[in-house]
Amino acid sequence: MTLMLPVKPPDPYVYVDNRAIVISNGTQGVLFSRALTRWLSETLEILAREKRGTRMQQQHVFGGFVAETGAVTLFAGSHDDVVSVEMSAEAFSAFQEELSHA
């Protein structure tokens, strides 16, 4: 038996649930365990305060910067494979708020 379903890459997104955080640029993604929530949340606090921030923990890289327009670019991944996404200031605030409750 064979099954083939038509699919397409999604638009870029950030997804958060009780087990993981996923950041996808539409074709590649990075998954962080919720065990890293505190580290991610602290990075977002630095980014919000200083308008830029980059942190590394073992093989993980997470950071970003705020453009003059207020849009926030996030990057995440490993030392040799990073994905980037851009989100509105409102979306960034919602993301930061969600991670701060961990």
Specify the number of domains making up the chain: 1
42-87 pLDDT tens trace: 999 999 999 999 999 989 999 999 999 999 999 999 988 999 999 9
CA–CA distance, 22 with 29 (Å, rounded to integer) = 7
**Inside any domain, residue 5:** no
21 Cβ contact partners less than 8 Å away, ≥ 6 residues apart: 14, 15, 31, 32, 34, 36, 37, 40, 99
What is the CATH number for 44?
A: 2.30.31.40
**Inside any domain, residue 15:** no
Its pTM stands at 0.89
The predicted structure's pLDDT at residue 100:
87
